[in-house]
């Protein structure tokens, strides 16, 4: 599929605007903490949610709202997760009602999300008081403010937009995400909002979302913790004017490929920005008997704290890779496994047929000291492949999470 990256993100597709302001949830007044994304027409919509049994109130409200496969706006605050609060559902519903009032929309057509500290009361007044101003600042160029407003411990904005063609009609998909710690989704990501101007039914939108998540956000892990507020939502306005996608077809496959490009980019950016991270670590598994084995092995290696610590120290401790493969919940012949490390500094083989081989520690360090490192694992047992993304484990991860609440 041919596509072009363009500037912007969620406001790039036809029919969408976005904004972000500081409303007062965060004590730091220089940080925006309330984001809004709005379409000028009702959209088909789909979402996926955390597998954590403890779920933030916004997820429960959003799931109810999306039962009809339709939405027109997304409201999100940062600084407070609105989770484990006695009045959480009331707060989430009130946020939707305030957006509905400001934009003359049904509250049921609003997706609501929150991110931040768990278990602290979320004051409603700062949010509802700010929503009229938030609505008034909606613009085609509001993406940057919106992505800033959903960030917590993130150190960089995660956003993308691409153009592609569906049956001769130009279409656009854009997305923003936040996530830096408490990341082991097995679902989607911490928070991710995607918009599209393609015309596609809600059922096909949900199907494409599920398919893409399996190879993108589900393959990301920063620390092995699954958040209570993980949610991925997509809205499609239909304004591109393509023939409506109502079944799996060539157009469906093209749309899904485009969506996967967006979600892969955001997945990598989430991994790159792991709390305290100094490098993006990618694990590519080839030669697996099936896709499930490939994904299980890749995700298990990328989650290993010992492997992640070795990457921080630029230490070619390939034994930690084999160790992780050995406890992965997959059938693997460890006597067939080959391992190599790769980066802009070169490629170096460190293990053949499950055993160590001679290699230069100096050359290996030159490979691993880079800010993007890939470990290639060949299981030599089939044709399936998978990729997972994570980061190194540093002293700063403990510092950040040692006083996250206080």
Domain residue limits at 362: 280-402
pLDDT digits (tens, 9 = 90+) for 346-388: 999 999 999 999 999 999 999 999 999 999 999 999 999 999 9
The active-site residue out of 128, 189, 264, 296 is 189
CATH of the domain at 241: 3.60.70.12
Measure the CA–CA gap between 173 and 255, rounded to whole angstroms.
9
Question: Taking a C-beta distance cutoff of 8 angstroms, is the pair 391, 181 a contact?
Answer: no
Q: Place 188 in a pLDDT band, splitting at 50, 70 and 90.
A: very low
What is the dihedral sign for C-alpha 77, 78, 82, 87?
Answer: negative
> What's the confidence (pLDDT) of residue 226?
67
Measure the CA–CA gap between 386 and 391, rounded to whole angstroms.
17
Q: Place 406 in a pLDDT band, splitting at 50, 70 and 90.
A: low
Burial group, residue 247, by CB count within 10 angstroms (0-12, 13-18, 19+): exposed
Q: Place 187 in a pLDDT band, splitting at 50, 70 and 90.
A: very low
pLDDT digits (tens, 9 = 90+) for 236-278: 999 999 999 999 999 999 999 999 999 999 999 988 887 788 9
* Residue 131 pLDDT greater than 80, yes or no: yes
Q: Give me the helices (H) in 237-289, please.
A: 250-272
Q: What are phi and psi of 206, to 5 degrees?
A: -65, -40
> What's the confidence (pLDDT) of residue 225?
62
**Which of 272, 296, 311 delimits the end of a domain?**
272
* Residue 396 pLDDT greater than 90, yes or no: no
158 and 288, same domain (yes or no): no
| Most confident among 1-5, 362-366, 396-400 (mean pLDDT) | 362-366
Q: Place 182 in a pLDDT band, splitting at 50, 70 and 90.
A: very low
Q: How many CA atoms lie within 13 A of 55 on its CB side?
A: 16
Q: Give me the helices (H) in 180-278, please.
A: 202-215, 250-272
**Which of 250, 272, 294 delimits the end of a domain?**
272
226 and 340, same domain (yes or no): no
* Residue 103 pLDDT greater than 90, yes or no: yes
pLDDT digits (tens, 9 = 90+) for 293-330: 999 999 999 999 999 999 999 999 999 999 999 999 99
151 and 116, same domain (yes or no): yes
Question: Taking a C-beta distance cutoff of 8 angstroms, is the pair 110, 93 a contact?
Answer: no
> What's the confidence (pLDDT) of residue 186?
54
103 and 211, same domain (yes or no): yes
21 and 127, same domain (yes or no): yes
Strands (E), 210-337: 231-236, 280-288
101 and 180, same domain (yes or no): yes
344 and 290, same domain (yes or no): yes
262 and 319, same domain (yes or no): no
- Lowest-confidence region among 62-66, 107-111, 155-159, 324-328: 155-159
Measure the CA–CA gap between 198 and 244, rounded to whole angstroms.
8
**Which of 213, 245, 272 delimits the end of a domain?**
272
> What's the confidence (pLDDT) of residue 394?
86
| Dihedral angle over CA of 142, 143, 146, 152, nearest 10 | -150
What pTM does this model have?
0.91
40 and 176, same domain (yes or no): yes
CATH of the domain at 299: 3.10.20.340
Enumerate residues 6+ apart whose C-beta is below 8 A from 401: 181, 275
Q: How many domains does the chain have?
A: 2
266 and 289, same domain (yes or no): no
At what angle are helices 125-136 and 88-103 packed, to 10 degrees? Answer: 30
> What's the confidence (pLDDT) of residue 57?
93
What is the dihedral sign for C-alpha 227, 202, 141, 101?
Answer: negative
Q: Is there a catalytic annotation at residue 172?
A: no
In which region does residue 31 sit, left (phi positive, over 0), alpha (psi from -120 to 50) or beta (all else)?
beta
Enumerate residues 6+ apart whose C-beta is below 8 A from 55: 49, 83, 228, 229
- Chain mean pLDDT for the chain: 93
Q: Give me the helices (H) in 104-244, please.
A: 125-136, 143-149, 202-215
Angle in degrees, CA 161, 237, 23, rounded to 5: 70
Residue percentage of the chain with pLDDT more than 90: 82
75 and 101, same domain (yes or no): yes
317 and 340, same domain (yes or no): yes
Question: Taking a C-beta distance cutoff of 8 angstroms, is the pair 71, 96 a contact?
Answer: no
* Residue 180 pLDDT greater than 70, yes or no: no
């Amino acid at each position: 599929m041919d596509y072009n990256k363009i500037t912007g993100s969620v406001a790039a597709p036809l029919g969408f605007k976005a904004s972000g302001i500081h409303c007062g949830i965060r004590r730091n007044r220089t940080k925006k903490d309330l984001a809004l994304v709005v379409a000028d027409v009702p959209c088909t919509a789909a979402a996926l949610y955390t597998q954590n049994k403890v779920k933030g109130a916004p997820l429960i409200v959003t799931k109810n709202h999306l039962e009809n496969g339709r939405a027109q706006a997304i409201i999100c605050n940062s600084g407070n997760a609105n989770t484990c609060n006695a009045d959480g559902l009331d707060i989430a519903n009130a946020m939707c009602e305030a957006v509905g009032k400001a934009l003359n929309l049904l509250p049921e057509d609003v997706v609501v999300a929150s991110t931040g500290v768990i278990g602290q009361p979320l004051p409603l007044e700062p949010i509802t008081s700010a929503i009229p101003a938030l609505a008034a600042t909606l613009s085609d160029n509001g993406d940057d403010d919106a992505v800033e407003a959903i960030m917590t411990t993130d150190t960089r904005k995660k956003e993308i937009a691409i153009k592609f063609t569906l049956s001769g009609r130009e279409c656009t998909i854009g997305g923003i995400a936040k996530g830096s710690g408490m990341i082991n989704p097995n679902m989607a990501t911490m928070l991710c909002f995607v918009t599209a101007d393609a015309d596609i039914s809600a059922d096909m939108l949900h199907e494409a979302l599920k398919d893409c998540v399996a190879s993108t956000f589900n393959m990301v892990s920063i620390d092995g913790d699954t958040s209570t507020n993980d949610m991925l939502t997509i809205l499609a306005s239909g304004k591109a004017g393509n023939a409506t996608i109502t079944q799996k077809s060539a157009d469906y496959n093209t749309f899904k490929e485009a969506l996967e490009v967006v979600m892969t980019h955001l997945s990598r950016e989430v991994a790159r920005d792991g709390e305290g991270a100094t490098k993006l670590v990618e694990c590519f598994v080839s030669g697996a008997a099936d896709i499930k084995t490939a994904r299980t092995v890749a995700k298990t290696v990328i989650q290993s704290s010992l492997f992640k610590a070795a990457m921080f120290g630029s230490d070619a401790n390939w034994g930690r890779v084999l160790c992780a493969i050995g406890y992965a919940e997959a059938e693997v012949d460890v006597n067939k496994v080959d391992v190599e490390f790769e980066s802009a500094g070169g490629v170096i083989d460190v293990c053949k047929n499950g055993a160590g081989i001679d290699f230069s520690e100096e050359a290996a360090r030159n490979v691993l000291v880079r800010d993007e490192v890939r470990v290639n694992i060949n299981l030599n047992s089939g044709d399936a492949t998978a990729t997972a993304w994570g980061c190194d484990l540093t002293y700063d991860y403990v510092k950040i999470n040692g006083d996250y609440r206080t």
